[in-house]
Amino acid sequence: MNISLLLEFVIYFQPWDEQLRERLLSLLTPMFVHRLCLEIKKLFMIDTTNNRFLISNQLKVFRGQIWNLRLALLENESPLKMIQRPLVIVTKRYHRYPTSDVWEECFKAKTPDYSGRRCC
C-alpha cells in the first residue's frame, strides 16, 4: 500500500486541528453566511441563463453545507464523520439581514424532499 495514501486515509479519521476549528467557528456567524450568500448571488447573476429559482435553491444547498460544517466543528467530528452527515437544505428565517448570532433563530434546516422531482 502506498504510504502517502495511508497517511491521507488516517487524516480523515483525525479530529480537526483545534486552532483551525476555533477560527472557523468564530467566522461562521449568520451575518457572515448572509454576506457570503449575497456575494455568490451576484456571481450567479452574471450568467443570464440562471433564474431566481435556481439561484435560491443553490443557496439553500450551500447554506446546508455550511450548517453541517458548523455542527461538525461544534461536535469536534473528524472530516470523515462530517461528510457522512445527512444532507440538509437551509432557508433564511429573516427578511433583510440576520438580527441574531443564534443560528437556529436565523436559519431553518430540513432534509431535502425529492418526492416532487421528475426526470426528463
pLDDT for 25 equals 95
Q: What is the pLDDT of residue 114?
A: 76
User: With bands split at pLDDT 50, 70 and 90, how would you rate the model's confidence at 119?
Assistant: low
Which candidate, 116, 115, 60, places its Cα nearest to that of 92? 60
Tell me the pLDDT tens digit for each residue of 100-118: 999 999 999 999 887 776 6
Distance from C-alpha of 5 to C-alpha of 61, rounded to nearest angstrom = 30
DSSP-derived 3-state class of residue 107: strand
Give 4-15 pLDDT, tens digit per residue. Answer: 665 566 666 778
92-95 long-range CB contacts below 8 Å, 24 or more apart? 92/34, 92/63
Residues 11-61: tens digit of each pLDDT:
667 788 899 999 999 999 999 999 999 999 999 888 888 888 889 999 999
Residue 6 is predicted with a pLDDT of 59
Taken as a whole, the chain contains a residue count of: 120
Backbone torsions φ then ψ of 95, nearest 5 degrees: -95, -55
Is residue 92 within a helix (H) or strand (E), and if so which, with residue range? strand 89-92
pLDDT score for 102: 93
Orientation angle between helical segments 30-46 and 52-74, nearest 10 degrees: 150
Instruction: Identify the DSSP state of 2.
Output: -
Cα–Cα distance, 15 to 22 (Å, whole number): 13
Confidence class of residue 79 from pLDDT cuts 50, 70 and 90?
confident
